[in-house]
Structure 1
Amino acid sequence: MTQHTTPAERALALREEIAQHNHRYYVLDEPAIPDAEYDRLFNELKAIEAQHPDLITPDSPTQRVGGAPAGGFGEVQHEVPMLSLGNAFAEQDMLDFDRRVREGLDLPAGDLFGGGEDVEYCCEPKLDGLAVSLLYENGLLVRGATRGDGSTGEDISSNVRTIRNVPLKLRGEGWPAVLEVRGEVFISKAGFEALNETARANDSKTFANPRNAAAGSLRQLDPAITASRPLEFCCYGFGRVEGDLPATQEGILQAFKGWGLTISRELKIKQGVAGCLEYYRDIGERRAALDYEIDGVVFKVNRLDYQRELGFRAREPRWAIAHKFPASEELTELLDVEFQVGRTGAITPVARLKPVQVAGVTVSNATLHNMDEVARLGVMIGDTVIIRRAGDVIPQVMQVVSERRPADARPIDVPSECPVCGSAVERTQLTKRGKGRATTSEGAVYRCVGRLTCAAQLKQSIIHFVSRRAMDIDGLGEKSVEQLVDTGLVGSPADLYQLTYDQVLPLEGFADLSTRNLLTAIADSRTPALARFIYALGIPDVGEETAKLLARALGSLARIREALPQVLVYLPDVGAEVAYEIHNFFADEHNQQVIDQLLARGVAPQETGELGAEFAASVSLAEFLARLDIPHIAKTGAERLADKFGSLRAIFDADWLDLKQVERLNEKAIKELRAFALNEQAREQALSIEQQLRDFGMHWESERAQADSLPLSGQTWVLTGTLEAMPRDVAKVHLESLGAKVAGSVSAKTHCVVAGPGAGSKLAKAEQLGVQVLDEAGLLSMLAEQGITP
């Protein structure tokens, strides 16, 4: 605030500036300033209003946080009723609606000589949220209300003020003196997941779906709770108006947008019922990819004079209809629960349901995830449950209708023996490691301990092993794998490499050519990239990216097999739990036997043999010391110890007086360090970890390679289109081995785009930005120059 600016003038300027930034952030999704600067402006306004309470206005952004909790909601009478819409569930319903509209407007219906006059419709997705009304007087928000029964709603003014994209004051000019805006309050899919994640972290009840979450959030008596929820508002119409509005539905919504209100980005104008049906099909295909839940499409006659001419029925307008998608949630009965065994032995409960149509598909099974989810739902066999299906997602049980629980409902108990092989079923243990000790707790997963002696695990392991992104053995589908296991021909992945023509030919689905093709595919798979081989082994929690990291960083199967978990954690994105999973997998005697058999039968993973350049001498003594989790030895203390003594043995051999010479190393730290060094087991383990770092070349005394000496170091490449000489994932491995980062999108920072046949938007953007573009021949030539021949 300058010396010539009064508090009132500064407060006004701040309100206008913050409102502008709110509009850019929450409506346009184009923030102009960083969050820290926004917070500074907001806090300055709060401070002025705290010193001068008379300057607080209803449209001040500081008033969004909500006041004291209300004792209840007052009633609001809707002067213009908030009517519901008629529904269309099939194409014929839409044809009938369009016919009624044309007849009501006395438009030509068409005959053998012409199609008649098409009606123009305003089309937008039907958001799955809660209908609300916002009343603006002279551009200021004065009231918010729920739809209620259409005639009477609840006053939720304090709560709607907390919704970030609801303007407290309309922008621009030209708005009516009184304007009632109607729309939907909803929570996006991402917001819903974040809300439930927070609830789970706080051991609170989670929400069943985004609609329930939005409704529950908006009807909180404490506005501060509403303010903490990720609510959004999208307007679709109007009620009471004193003033002028445009003459079409679309025109009104575009005017709303200009006044700072959010409208649907999917808003379109279509001609006739054919255009409406095309829009419905398009939105339906993209439904799962939208950021929010929708349950249909709303079509409204675009011209307001046509709307007035058509008028209303008792409960719905004649000029609008909601074309609903097949239901994504339905009620049904839980008949039983069966337990399936996965590739890693995880025992998963699967709900067997009374068949019901959900989103156009007959559903008789649904996932229950794990026993913790069963406990959270409180579900029992015999319960009536709500199941949900969205897109191609596996149907899941969302909620129990507890008031319908029958007297003979039975609890769901995890089996003590594997339902496939009869081996014991054990609950997983979660180990949390830190500061020199480990604590163990029960995990959510139960596992069969039978490993590959369990037919279910064996089959799933083989299916994973031969999959396209693993060993890529074409011709081995699920049914073929089942036959190989059931006939005893294959008892581990290594047995695939001993199959003969005479063994395969008699199997169902195989003839001479398919048998020869399968044996050729098996033979061709004997020299996989090391990353593919690691991924194919099916190590728990090790996906493709982690497998690529292990191969690139450690360079050889031998190092990966030997790596201690305390060494693996030095690799980026490898946490302690994943490191122990990797180590335990390779330490398992049976897994060692299978890997040795694979190698003996001709499988030879292609490896560089060299440690990744960026990992050479990458571990400092200070970092190593800090990771030993010695109590009271943190990063700064570890650095001072490293500077003082220079080696791990010197630190361990230092006596009390030597350690007292280390700057700011307190007595608690000295005591814990001495206790660690004098503990023979702890000392020897630390020294063995250090030795492996030295053997691998990661030790601080190792020769440092220059990662930036790699030819493509610091460059970002993008692959698009079809590559014919090699799969794109192989090209990605080669580029990464040369130091490049391979990204999925093109930006101004992209160094080069490799474009094969069928390249589309990425190629167009590269050309627009002037990014270098290579075809596949150019890529192969570049790789050949670097000594890489695919």
Structure 2
Amino acid sequence: MRQDRPVSTAEIQPEETAPEETAPAEAWQPDQLPSEAVREEYQRVVDEVRRHRHAYYTEDAPLISDAEYDALYRHLEELEALHPELVANDSPTQEVGGEVSAAFTPVRHLQRMYSLEDVFSLEELQAWVERATASVARLGGDRPLRWLAEVKIDGLAVNLLYRNGELVRAATRGDGTTGEDITHNALTIKDIPTRLAGSNLPAELEIRGEVFIATSGFRELNEQMVAEGKAPFANPRNAAAGSLRQKDPAVTARRPLSMFVHGLGAREGLAAGSQSETYALLRGWGLPVSPYFQVMDSFEQVLDFIGHFGQHRHDLLHEIDGIVIKVDDFGLQRALGHTSRVPRWAVAYKYPPEEVHTKLLDIRVNVGRTGRVTPYGVMEPVKVAGSTVEMATLHNQDVVKAKGVMIGDIVVLRKAGDVIPEIVGPVVALRDAQEPKVREFVMPAECPSCGTPLAPGKEGDVDLRCPNARSCPAQLTQRVAHLAGRGAFDIEALGEEAAVALTMGPGPDPAENGGAVAPGGPGVITTEAELFDLAASHPDPELRARLADVRVWREKRSKGQGTGVFELVPYFYTRGTAKKPSVPTANTQKLFEELDKAKSQPLWRVLVALSIRHVGPTAARALATAFRTMDGIENATEEQLAHVDGVGPTIAASLKEWFAVDWHREILQRWKDAGVRMADEVDESIPRTLEGLTVVVTGSLEGFSRDEAKEAIIIRGGKASGSVSKNTNYVVAGENAGSKLDKAEQLGIPVLDEDGFRKLLETGTV
């Protein structure tokens, strides 16, 4: 006889299972019947939810983002809470999952598969935990209440049925009672064993899990789809679902599908008392159990778990959209029971949305400081991950093609925390409805800034570059902005806008260009060699005088609102009047002074400021430590440069190539004449305590900035590495240390706090 494992605590009695969840009684009164307008709104929302559920679950082609669907579904729940008399048994809020496709044989699950209740804030989660805790207390259970938290995989729910260890059936969740038979396709997934390992296996066992495609596999799959002339998938979840629902198992076998198990249905002969204990059994039988779970005793630990994976969600093997919290004990799970749709012993906390849908208005190109020409998307402004986004990188023309996006598409946009926004792909199902019709992006053949024909930097390069490095206004602008950045000279008064004003003249009236400000050219300076001629202690009167004529477009405003009318106004100087002549603004005066301060920056910052391809702060520090002077670096052989730890042959070749260009050497000479520091003084009083040691700093330290900590390591002869490996000697962990700390602990590398770091710097040991 098939049954769940019995509960040994006789004193625990299950709560009544309510057929449905409704709003509190005070939410409505019998005489407050819904108006016709409310009924129409309710039916409209029901129809919309059904339409999007069908697109998501049955067609594997969502028409809106998860965040938009969640908002729509919650609106439906609010309407039903206010007007419970409208709720019918076939309301989407009373159903589990989606429909069963006629393309597959329907099969009935031995035990129903439920959905999960979703919460969208930590306050809602805390309220749910408090309700569950109170319910357990009312039931009189004497077991300690422990929570199992695991990441919520963004995949397709499946049910595997094993009899005496043999896989006899695989099915989708379907409507929770009946699913689609996908056995032949599931057999192609390497993670799913056809026979369980070990002995004394359960006579009958339903395994619930999630089929997914890893993030790296998803990118490769979409590139392959586009190369074959097929529409790319919108996201990994729908790629997994579409792959598992193929009529031909051979097609499924070619897709990079994986699976993690996360629960049980019917079971006969299973001796386990908790979810976590079951995971250990399942792993021993050869089933794939997610490594991302933890059992904990308090809500505070649950919050820490949520916070950790919120920070590291993009470091995982697969996409996640939240955290699932379950009561670990099977006896308490059974006592708490279910509603008609969800278990009362589990909940899903959903992270704030990082993916939204918006319209791709155009694809334009940007010319970078090394000449690389990068396409980027211009979109209808949309709020995602807490900020409004209207532009996102598309990397190069091959990426545009691989993603399958066209101008005019509705696209999936992702912004993970502070990461640059990314266009994931198009919502192909909406393409035919777009007006005007979508069109393909064509990469320009000439530089949009200077008109020079574009070409790869070298044979085999995917990226196209503008070879006119010396005279291209766009490249000069980006180089000036870069050299003023925090990783180079750190000139606060010289931001992106000031760099544009210095290097480019104003373009056409933005009112005639759809409101977009288009820079012209050339500007006040035609090479970065001239920059320090503006410094307070080394001014070039003629160059400074030209600043007075620099104009930029500004939109006129009325009562704080834009008018759509633009005017040319001075950028570096005040507006002059008959009584008050135009003079440098306070910010311009600050720029003159900060240019003087920048001259005393250490050698490695000067190296970074030169925009030498591949030379970032790490390589620049290593070079400055090894050679101490700019002349020493310039005169070193390629072999000597490559031998420096952290440099290597690619950077060495790039350095020799850069120094071989005459106008590059002119920049160095002009800067040197203006007083820019070209050598580091060796402080003989600082002992070389870290000679031969590799140290990684992660997190925030109170007494050191990240750069200061690295500098302290390097001047004592150590290597300041950015990644943890078996060759790392010490890891210094400050506040909010992340995955580097985790890896150090896994590898058994000594971890130091700030006090330990100071001692290491002093003595070379702890």
User: The TM-score by the shorter chain falls in which range?
Assistant: 0.5 to 0.7
Does structure 1 residue 85 correspond to structure 2 residue 104?
Answer: no
Amino acid at match of 1:372: D
CA distance in 1, matches of 2:421, 2:736: 35
* Conservation of the 8 A alpha-carbon contact between 2:206 and 2:267: yes
- Does the Cα contact within 8 Å between 2:452 and 2:468 map onto a contact in 1? yes
> Which of 525, 530, 546 pairs up with 1:495?
530
Aligned to 1:335: 361
Q: Which residue of 1 aligns with 2:481?
A: 463
Cα displacement string for residues 660-712 of structure 1 (whole angstroms, at most 9, x for unaligned residues):
xxxxxxxxxxxxxxxxxxxxxxxxxxxxxxxxxxxxxxxxxxxxxxxxxxx99
Tell whether the 8 Å contact from 1:426 to 1:449 is kept in structure 2 after alignment: no
Q: How does 1:211-250 map to 2 (within 5 A)?
A: 211-219=237-245, 230-250=256-276
Contact 1:483 1:507 in 2 (8 A): no
Q: Structure 2: how far apart are the matches of 1:161 and 1:777?
A: 58
CA shift digits 1:721-758 (9 cap, x unpaired): 6669993444555566xxx76555778866x6597998
Q: Which of 378, 392, 396 matches 2:422? A: 396
Secondary structure of the corresponding residue to residue 207 of structure 2 = strand
Task: Report what 1:381 is aligned to.
Answer: 407
Say yes or no: does 1:534 pair with 2:607. yes
How many residue pairs get aligned? The number is 585
SS at match of 1:398: strand
Displacement of 1:183 in angstroms is: 0.9
Q: Is the 8 A contact 1:341 1:457 kept in 2?
A: yes
Q: Is the 8 A contact 2:174 2:180 kept in 1?
A: yes
1:142-161 CA distance string (max 9 Å, x none): 33333344344344445544
Taking the aligned partners of 1:508 and 1:590, their CA distance within structure 2 comes to 32
Provide the rounded CA distance (Å) in 1 between the counterparts of 2:122 and 2:278: 28
Residue among 586, 601, 608 paired with 2:674: 601
How far apart are the structure 1 equivalents of 2:167 and 2:689?
A: 57
Deviations 1:483-525 (A, max 9, x none): 655797755433343311697996555498x679625522312
Q: Which residue of 2 aligns with 1:406?
A: 435
Q: Aligned equivalents of 2:746 and 2:274: distance in 1? A: 40
Larger-gyration structure (1/2): 1
**Structure 2 portions without partners, runs of 5+:** 1-102, 506-522, 545-571, 574-582, 683-687
Shift of 1:128: 0.9
**Match status 1:592 vs 2:569:** no
Alignment match, 1:326: 352
Instruction: Describe the shift of the 1:375–1:196 C-alpha distance in structure 2 as closer, same or farther (beyond 3 A).
Output: closer
Deviation at 1:236, TM superposition (A): 1.3
Within the alignment, does 1:429 sit opposite 2:456 as a pair?
yes
**Which residue of the other structure, out of 695, 705, 708, is the alignment partner of 1:727?**
708
Q: Is the 8 A contact 1:349 1:369 kept in 2?
A: yes
1:524 counterpart SS class: coil
User: Equivalents in 2 of 1:277, 1:76: separation in Å?
Assistant: 39
Q: Deviations over 1:294-337 (max 9, x none)?
A: 11122334444454455444443344332222333332222233
1:656 alignment counterpart: none
Look up the match of 1:131.
157
CA distance in 2, matches of 1:182, 1:77: 14
Between 763-772 and 89-98, the greater mean CA deviation after superposition: 763-772
Look up the match of 1:181. 207
Q: Is the 8 A contact 2:234 2:412 kept in 1?
A: no
CA spacing shift, 1:249–1:543, aligned 2, 3 Å: same
Counterpart position of 1:5 = none
From 599, 610, 631, the counterpart of 1:523: 599
For 1:426, the aligned partner's letter is: P
Does the alignment pair 1:349 with 2:349?
no
| Secondary structure in structure 2 of the residue aligned to 1:335 | strand
**Change beyond 3 A, Cα 1:523–1:331:** closer
The answer to whether the 8 A contact 1:428-1:442 is kept is: no
What is aligned with 1:718? 695
Deviates further, 380-389 or 195-204: 195-204
Q: CA deviation at 1:180?
A: 1.0
CA 1:575–1:221 in structure 2 vs 1: closer, same or farther (change >3 Å)? farther
Alpha-carbon distance change, 777 to 129 in structure 1, aligned in 2, over 3 angstroms: closer
Deviation (angstroms), 1:585:
3.8
Code of the aligned partner of 1:494: A
Asked if 1:286 corresponds to 2:312, the answer is: yes
Deviation at 1:269, TM superposition (A): 4.5
Q: Deviation at 1:536? A: 2.1
Deviation (angstroms), 1:581: 5.4
- Name the stretch that deviates more: 383-392 or 214-223: 214-223
C-alpha RMSD of matched pairs (Å): 5.2
**Contact 2:327/2:346 (<8 A) preserved:** yes
- Segments of 5+ residues of structure 1 without an aligned counterpart are 1-71, 110-116, 433-440, 610-710, 784-790
Distance 1:294 1:158 in 2: 27
What letter is aligned with 1:718? V
CA–CA separation in structure 2 for the residues paired with 1:138 and 1:601: 83
The structure-2 alpha-carbon separation of the partners of 1:279 and 1:557, relative to structure 1 and needing over 3 Å to count, comes to closer
Query: Partner of 1:344: helix, strand, or coil?
Result: coil
Answer whether contact 2:133 2:145 (CA < 8 A) is retained. Answer: yes
Q: Distance in 2 between matches of 1:757 and 1:327?
A: 29
Q: Which fold has the larger relative contact order, with Cα–Cα distance below 8 Å and residues 6 or more apart in sequence?
A: 2
| Matched residue type, 1:324 | K
Of 607, 616, 622, the residue aligned with 1:543 is: 616
Change (3 A) 1:313 1:470: same
Mapped contact 2:226–2:404 kept (Cα < 8 A): no
- After superposition, the Cα gap between the structure-2 partners of 1:769 and 1:126, relative to the gap in structure 1 and judged at 3 Å, is closer
Offset from partner CA, 1:629-688 (integer Å, 9 cap, x none): xxxxxxxxxxxxxxxxxxxxxxxxxxxxxxxxxxxxxxxxxxxxxxxxxxxxxxxxxxxx
Q: Which moved more, 1:225-234 or 1:576-585?
A: 576-585
- Secondary structure (helix, strand or coil) at the match of 2:664 reads helix
Three-state SS of the structure 1 residue aligned to 2:453 is strand
2:166 alignment partner in structure 1:
140
Whole-angstrom CA distance in 1 between matches of 2:226 and 2:204: 43
**SS of equivalent residue, structure 2 residue 265:** strand
Q: Is the 8 A contact 2:411 2:425 kept in 1?
A: yes
Distance 2:395 2:597 in 1: 35
Deviation at 1:382, TM superposition (A): 2.4
Query: Match for 1:428: what amino acid?
Result: A
Supply the distance in 2 between the matched residues of 1:725 and 1:386 (Cα, whole angstroms): 35
Query: Which has the larger share of helix?
Result: 1
Listed one character per residue, the Cα deviations across residues 217-253 of structure 1 (whole Å, up to 9, x for unaligned) are 5455666665665543222111121124434444433
* Contact persistence 1:565–1:583 (CA under 8 A): yes
CA contact (8 A) 1:124 1:266 kept: yes
Report the TM-score when normalising by structure 2: 0.62
Distance 1:407 1:99 in 2: 52
Q: 1:755, 1:763 within 8 Å by CA — same for their partners in 2?
A: no
Does the CA contact (< 8 Å) of 1:475 and 1:517 recur in 2?
A: no
Mapped to 1, the partners of 2:353 and 2:335 lie a distance apart of 33
SS of the residue aligned with 1:463?
helix
Amino acid at match of 1:235: V
